Each structure stands twice: as structure tokens, then as C-alpha cells.
Chains A and B, each alone.
Chain A
Amino acid sequence: MARYTLNLLCGALVLLILVPVDVVAQNHDHAAMGHDMGGMAAGDSVTWRMPPMDMSMPMMPGMHGMNPSAPAYLPLTPQEAMALPDARPRELVTMADGDTLHLHAMMVKRKIGDRHFAMFGYNGQIPGPLIRAPQGSKVYVHFENHIDQATTVHWHGLRLDNRFDGVPGVTQAPVEQHASFMYELKFPDEGLYWYHPHIREDIQQDLGLYGNMLVDPSREDALPRVNREEVFVLDDLLVDGSGPLPYGQDAPTHALMGRFGNLMLVNGVPDYRMSVKKGEVVRFFLTNVANARTFNVTFGNAKIKVIASDVSRFEREQWVDSVPIAPAERYIVDVRFKKPGDVAIANTIQAINHFRGEFYPHVDTLAIVSVADEPVSTDLSDEYLALRTNADVVEDIESFRSSFDRPVDYEIELTLKHQNLPLPIVAMMEIDTLYVPPMEWNDAMPMMNWLSTGNEVTWVLRDVRSGRENMDINWTFQKGDVAKIRIFNTPDSFHPMNHPIHVHGQRYLVLSIDGVPTQNLVWKDTAIVPVGSTMDILVDMSNPGEWMMHCHIAEHLQAGMMLSFTVEEEGTAGSP
């Protein structure tokens, strides 16, 4: 491709130097830009602030003074926010079969630094209530919407009835401000799930609308014993001295790389601490609710035993040194704290400095575990040190093994299109694309990323055989089908990036990456497709209805990266 050549590279550099300042005008006429978000009215009074910059990276020529092409939005001004109730920590709600939970999406205020800001919370909590229920149960959630825009609740990972999946315009109408909706949740699978809006996740989820569901396995011995359980919601928030950076009112900002935050949060707070006794074995239930960031979670130098992921336990428990977790993924891991003292739970990455052309080690502390001198009363070391094989999981997966070699049913390519992007961004991306990493660990181009909105960028899931894209795709399956889908994340696009691909309402196995078979299988609903890689997944089409498959980077989803498929009931007449 021409873009890999010296000619273009030099040309791009020249462009960068020559392009005049203020290519894109700042004076958006807010009144003229239609508002398609119901009651969201605050945008008119909100002005753009530049994203916080790492001063070691020079400002790209030609970008000074530019603003995103969408009007700026924040829920309320800090002054207005003062009247809101304070966000509260998450509360546990233990539910039995048939129980009902009243869940309200609300405006709350939250203190960051020494100022208060308007955010969102389910029942005023960030994260929202932790729903704990037994496997096989069914519960009801009476949901009311009291934020300033329409919303829905998606119950991520649950194989529930299609009409409760929370996809606006497909499974339900948006829940308008002060309206309500009754959800019915089914928990056929054990493990850790989460709920979040399926409208403008880039805003609503980012501002605090997320919560977990913990489904206790019916088998009593499904999981090894531990001394303590901790549910960790990992997140990041993009803030400056004045609070959260404004969002795009009618289109997401950060459409290229997604909105990476600069404030790391565990369970909604930047300074999460917990105390344990010496020798305690702690089970961490990890969920990544960040818009775009994949974390590489370390627990000091402790060995980590990985037990389960999205929709099941692994075939075999396994020792790992860190837990890479993409947006929407979950992992359940056990860690033993052997020595007294503080242990930092951290995001430990090799970040990229594009200008210098180098990787550099970067560590963000997510939480601190204080390990006391006093030893734990029940020593579970032996159990912790043993690695178990989950015969029931192996057996379940075994029944799908005859489909592992089936032909590929559908093949999709991950790519993007762009229009009307400022010229300096286009020029810079051409250079940057000389090398793209398999994964993006940091926002190394905060200005360019911020300036690209859903108005300029369309992320694409392209059906290779039909040429159809995104919601023009609707595959049809029969209940009970097992489908092999090949996902190729082409490095040959304007801005290649890793994508966590989520399938609604079903479970799938990652069979292989780049033709290398997965050694230790687990049922997933979301998995990372690195740049340049081909991932084959095997989907158990067990749940009838019209479902979505999409990238879980909030800005990519909002910029179009979603397709649909229908699973027909057995015996239903064939489709066109």
C-alpha cells in the first residue's frame, strides 16, 4: 500500500509542517446541530476544554485551537450539581428466585479532588447495586430512568430472554426520562456478569452507570474455598482540574482510539484500600467497565490463579503473572497475600510514545492491600496451591468439539472509514500506521483522538462474503446451531486497533488466534481481537431472538461497530 512508502511518509511530514492553524472552525452553531438525545439540554452552556496532555509529547502542528465537531455536553454545572445527593458506595442485594429489585438511574454528585461534579449512579450508587443470586434463578428488576436522557439496561453476558436484552430500537424502546421498564433476568450460567446502559455508553457508563451480578454456582464444590471475596470494578475517567472532560452531545469524541481516562478507579474511587490478614487467600471478581482501556492487572509479585472468565470456569485452573482484561471482560482470580505490608494492585503496561518511537514502562496503582502481621485463622494454602481441572466444564465443551473443525460460517473484517477529518490528523495517522501494536495500552495521541468524533469516523464490521457492513448484516441461525465465525482485525486500515468483540445473549469459545488453537478453553461473551490477528470463535446459538455482536469500546460502538443476528426457535420456517 502506498501509505507504507517513503514518498507518502515524507509528504505527510511536509503536510504537517505546512498545514495552517485552525483548519476546522471552532464556532459551532449549537442550536443548528440537532439534539437526538431527548432531555439532554445542558450542552448549550458547556464549552470544550482541551484534553490533559503529556507534556513530553509535542503538540501536533495545525491542531492548536481546534475543537471536536460535536457540541460539548456535561450533565450539570458544578454549581448545579451541589443540589444532588452524594454518590454512595455499592450495596449488596442478595436475591432469591422470584424477587424484585427497584433500580433507578439517578443523577448524583461526586467529589474528585476538592470539587463536586454531576455524575450518574444506579440507586445513587457507584458502582450500582451488586446483585447476588443463585444459578438457575429468575429475578425481576423494575427500572426507572431519572437521568437527563433516554437509557436502557443491558444485562451483559446473561443468556436471558431477548426482549429484556436492553437494545434500543431492537428489543425495546428507549426508556425516556422518568419512564420505567420491567426487566426479567435469568441466570442459567454461574459467574460474574454486569449491567450497563445500551445508549451512549461513552457518556452514561463512563459517568457511573455500571454494576455487577454475581451468580453463585449450583454445584457447591465448583470453586475452591477462599478466605475472602472482593468484587473489583476497574474503570478510568478522563478529568482535568475542572472535572470530567465534556462529552460530545450528538456524537462521541475520541472516536479513533476510544476515551482513555487519566484517573484510575476501583469500585468508583481512585484510592481503593483493603486490609487482609497474613496468608489470606482472596478471590477477586474483576470486571473492566472502562470505555476503551485494556488493563494488565498485577498483584505485587504474587502468583495469580485464574479460575474463570465471562460465562464459565476454565477447563483448568492456571497460574499467571498478570491479568490482561479488555473492556467488558471478566476474570475470577485467586491471590494469596503471604507477607505483611502493603501490596499494590496495579495496571502494569508498556505504553507507547509515538513521537519518540518507543515503548516505556508505565505503572498505575489501582488499589492498595494492607497485609496485617496477624495470620489468617483458616489457612487455605493447600487448596490455593492446588490447580484443579473442572471436569464439568471439560465435559460440556467436549460436546462441542466435533464442531471445532467445521467450515467457517461467517467471516468478518474489522476496519474503519473516515470523512472530513482535519488534515493534520489524516497526515499523522498515515505515519503512525507504519507500526501498529497488537494492543493499544494508552492514548498516545490525545489531541487527535479527542478531535475525532462519530461524525468523522465510522468503525466497521464487514461481512467479507456479502460485503455488508454493521447493522446491514443480519445473519440467521436456528436454535441449537453451532456457528464458526472468523474475525480478522485488518492491519491495513486507516487506524488499526484492537477490539473487544461482544456477542449478546449467547456464549462462545475462542477456538484459535492466528491458527494456534486455544489450550485452555472457557466460555466467553467478550474477547480481544488484536491488530493483525485472526480469531476463530465458536458460538453456541442457544438463545432465540435478534441479538447484537459489537465492539465494546464505547466510542467504536457509538461510531457504528455493531451487527445483528437472529436465532430462530426450533421448527421456525427458514428465513429468506
Chain B
Amino acid sequence: MSATETRATAARWRSLMLPACGGLAFLVTWDLVVRLLQVPAYLIPAPLAVWTELASFPLWFAQQTLYTAAVALAGFVSAAVLGFLFAVVITESRLLDRLFFPLFVALNSVPKVAIAPLFLIWFGTGSLPKVAISFLVAVFAVVIDSALGLRSVHPDVLDLAKALRGSRLKVLLRVKLFAAMPSIFAGLKVAMSLALVGAIVGEFVSSQNGLGQVILSAQGTFDTARVFAALAILAVLGVAMIGAVDLAERWAMPWQHATVRRVKPARRQAEAAWQAASERGAMR
């Protein structure tokens, strides 16, 4: 292993170990506080009690987690798609921007929790109203950040595109979309965590399933360990979902960390051969 590789591996280790150490320190402190101050378990259970709770009903917790995750994911995806499309519409047309953006901001200022009961009337008690709330909570971040990104293209680049007579669609797909990506992903990360919040809010209002419902019913019986177990799962779920968006971001924007684009070796060889031939032609 070369020196740089060793350093890279060490850096990767550190980037994994440091957060783990932080989490461990948090757990130890929590445990110490509960023990030393003799906090009753119905207020704050010890970490081990929470773990025991999780370990006793692994399958049941997995089911509830899956339900909440699915709702949050559905809310997130719909917010990402529709939010991005709305951002495209308002950045491409001044008229539609003037017409609808203020309305959108006004609608967004209505507290989503207050709208939730209305969704029950409209969509019944299935998972649809929860997805709708999750969508509503998440969509604002997507719209604002996507629009910001789509407007952030350097004027010189836009001039160039215009001088090359690029169609609006090509300018959008080849230039604006990519220039906007860092901003879009920033919005998607915020939206991801908000979608999870939205899913829980939806389950609070009415549900037979999901971690939100677990928290609500456990609270009714003062089963604080179960509440904490659900909260712990939510924390892990949130980290995992943001992590997934992070991964997607790295995959979507290779130019941000690589210096050379990945190209099939066959193509690279063909190009090298072409260049060599052209070089010889130029010498003659």
C-alpha cells in the first residue's frame, strides 16, 4: 500500500470511527445519568432497557419501521418529483412564477398538522393521507432549493448556450439541471428528514400502524422504554435515509470528486489509437 492509500484508508476509518465514538459517549452519559440520579424508568429508561425492549419484539418493530419508512419514502419521492417539476415551471416562465409562487408560499405557511384532519376526511384512514402529509411537509424545501439552483447558472454559460443556439430543452437538460444539482441535493436532504417528520405526524393523527402509532399507544400505557425504542429506530432511520441521499449525490455528481471521467477501456484505447494515427498524419 502506498503512503497516500494508507492515509486515505486512515481518513475513511476516522470518518466512520469518530461518529461512532460520539454515539458511544452519548450512550455512556445517558446510562450514568440514569444510574447516578436514579431516574425512574417511566421517565427515562436506561439504554439497556431500551435495547431489551427492541430485542424482545424484533419482527414487530421491523414491521412498524417498514410501514413508516414506506410512507416517508413515498412522501419524499412525490415531493422530489413534483417539487422539482414545479421549480422548473417557475424558473422557466416568469408569468407562471408570478401567478403561482406567492400562492405556493401562502399555502406552505398553513401549519401542516392543522391540515392533517382534513386529509382524513378526503383520503380515508389508509396510508394515503399520511403520504400526503409527508409530501406537504417535504415539498417546500425541494421547490426552494431546486429553483435556487436552476437560477444559479453563470450568465456567461447562459450567453454561450444562447450563442450556440441551444434549444430551451437542451439548455435545461444539459446545463441548468447539472448546475442546479448541488442545490437540488441540499434540498433533497432537508426534504428527506422532513418527509419522515411528516409520516410520523400523519400517524399521530390516525393510524393502526407505524412508529408514530407505536409511540402514541406506548405513551398511553406509560411504556416509556417502548417510546424510546421507537425514537431510537427513528434516529437510525433518519440517518440511513439521509445517507442514501448522500450516496445518490455522490453517484450523480462524479465531477465533484473525480478528476477524470470513467470511460470504458475499449473506448479509451480506440481514442488513443486514433490520436496516434492522427499524429503520424500530421507529421507527414
| A and B form one complex | no
Interface set of A (CB-CB < 8 Å, partner B): none
Interface set of B (CB-CB < 8 Å, partner A): none
